A = this chain, B = another copy of it.
Amino acid sequence: MKKYNKVVLAYSGGLDTSVIIPWLKENYGCEVIAVVGNVGQKSELEGLEEKALKTGASKIYIEDLTEEFVNDYIFPTIQAGAIYEGKYLLGTSFARPLIGKRMVEIAKKEGADAICHGCTGKGNDQVRFELAIKAFAPEMPIIAPWRIWDIKSREEEIAYALEKKVPIKISYETNYSKDMNLWHLSHEGLDLEDPNNEPNYEKILELSTTLEKAPDKATYITLSFEKGIPVALNGVKMDGVKLLEELNKLGGENAIGITDMVENRLVGMKSRGVYETPGGTILYKAHKDLEELCLDKETAHYKEQVALKFADIVYNGLWFTSLREALHSFVLKTQETVTGEVKLKLYKGNVVNAGMTSPYSLYSEEYATFGEDAVYDQKDSAGFVNLFGLPIVVHAKMNAKIKSEEK
């Protein structure tokens, strides 16, 4: 095995990345620098420094990435309206590139000669991490222990942890595989691995209550957007992180944004997961509704296609690519008039539009009304239908000619 002097490790404090520290030292003879990207995983952050050092890391960086996460990753994706396979709001997908980018910055600053992550070889996250690393340090060696070591099960992992005196609460009880950040919480594994099992939401949900336990009384909120970016809640201006925290609370209480899906991973297989995205679901809904007022049809319809591609790109870890940037330019241009207020009713899993306004509204009551109006000449419709339908007429006449010749 190749030797390294200093390896930067994407560290979470969980069993996997804790075990990796002694493993790296043993196998590469290297110093290990733990890096934690705080993207809002909250309670998981407590006591990390002590734990990392006790486990053998020489240093730990705990980087607050929440603001960058919200402004540069989450909001552009909301503006794009990107949803993967009709359901997944990309919570893990766009966090990985950000963390990967910071890993490279720290590795360069520290003069590290390799970067290590604890992702499994079967998932998307290895790709997302590594593509971000390649984008900023194309020749940096990447170590992915799960793809190379001999540890093949939780039991073996715990045994190794005990042997290396890793200071971790050993629990043989298994749990769902989770990923938490300011945007969402995902759950995979265990009984969810059979798509025929109804999720036990009582047991699974952490950010949200269940549909049944959500209050019997609706909560009304108003969101303000400027150029497609949410800037205020109930008339109070606040930064993105604060806004999302508030919406997560409100959404969670009303059981908003719980999704169960079988998705297609980038690495070729399907997997099944349950996602909680309470605040995000509210934001997507409000933003989409406001676009109904502010975008013209051609733009809105083309943007639906762009959203599909944008979602694929983000899901596949291709954040730092020319195509993502070019699509972002497209989206930004469309958002120039997506400004206004959306009132929403939150009620037992439902986000219901309760009225909206925009100074850039393209909705015109005088055109839309069934009553008399001064602006729209209904006679124009006859000409429109005749020309719009001309290809159908030409086709029908061709058919008739063919049929008459066949006789």
Contacts from A to B (Cβ < 8 Å): 85-86, 120-122, 126-127, 130-131, 134-139, 144, 146-148, 152-153, 177, 188-189, 193-198, 211-212, 216, 218, 260-264, 266-272, 288-289, 292-293, 295-305, 308-309, 312-313, 318, 320-323, 325-334, 337, 343, 345, 347-350, 352-357, 359-365, 367-372, 376-398, 400, 402, 405
Instruction: A302-B327, A384-B384 are known; give 20 further A-B pairs, CB within 8 A.
Output: A85-B300, A126-B385, A139-B393, A153-B372, A193-B368, A195-B293, A195-B355, A261-B292, A262-B289, A264-B296, A264-B300, A264-B391, A296-B321, A296-B323, A301-B308, A322-B337, A362-B398, A381-B387, A383-B383, A383-B384
Q: How far is the CB of A261 from chain B (nearest CB, A)?
A: 6
In the bound complex, CA of A121 to CA of B267 (Å) = 20
Residues in chain B near residue A398, CB distance under 8 A: 360-362
Q: How far is the CB of A312 from chain B (nearest CB, A)?
A: 7
Q: How far is the CB of A265 from chain B (nearest CB, A)?
A: 8
> Do B360 and A135 have beta carbons less than 8 Å apart?
no
Closest B-chain residue to A366, C-beta based?
Answer: B269
Indicate the member of A262, A289, A300 with the most B CB atoms within 10 Å.
Answer: A262
Closest B-chain residue to A402, C-beta based?
Answer: B359
> Do A379 and B148 have beta carbons less than 8 Å apart?
yes
Contact of A396 among B130, B135, B147, B383 (CB under 8 A): B135
| A362-B126 contact in complex given A347-B211, A352-B260, A368-B269, C-beta closer than 8 Å | no
In the bound complex, CA of A289 to CA of B270 (Å) = 13
In the bound complex, CA of A362 to CA of B401 (Å) = 11
Q: How far is the CB of A100 from chain B (nearest CB, A)?
A: 11
> Do B378 and A146 have beta carbons less than 8 Å apart?
yes
> Do A308 and B309 have beta carbons less than 8 Å apart?
no
Q: How far is the CB of A350 from chain B (nearest CB, A)?
A: 5
Contact of A329 among B126, B137, B292, B329 (CB under 8 A): B329
Q: How far is the CB of A247 from chain B (nearest CB, A)?
A: 19
Residues in chain B near residue A85, CB distance under 8 A: 292, 300-301, 304
In the bound complex, CA of A375 to CA of B301 (Å) = 33
Residues in chain B near residue A330, CB distance under 8 A: 326-327, 329-330
Residues in chain B near residue A389, CB distance under 8 A: 127, 130-131, 134, 268
| A350-B353 contact in complex given A189-B370, A394-B269, C-beta closer than 8 Å | no
In the bound complex, CA of A261 to CA of B342 (Å) = 13
In the bound complex, CA of A328 to CA of B303 (Å) = 14
| A387-B386 contact in complex given A260-B353, A261-B292, C-beta closer than 8 Å | no
In the bound complex, CA of A152 to CA of B177 (Å) = 44
Task: Report 10 cross-chain contacts, Cβ distance below 8 Å, ordered by A residue.
Answer: A121-B376, A121-B379, A138-B393, A193-B369, A260-B353, A272-B363, A302-B309, A326-B330, A327-B330, A379-B383
> Do A380 and B382 have beta carbons less than 8 Å apart?
yes
Residues in chain B near residue A196, CB distance under 8 A: 355-357
> Do B363 and A138 have beta carbons less than 8 Å apart?
no
Closest B-chain residue to A120, C-beta based?
Answer: B370
In the bound complex, CA of A363 to CA of B391 (Å) = 10
Q: How far is the CB of A90 from chain B (nearest CB, A)?
A: 15
> Do B402 and A390 have beta carbons less than 8 Å apart?
no
In the bound complex, CA of A264 to CA of B363 (Å) = 9
Residues in chain B near residue A328, CB distance under 8 A: 333
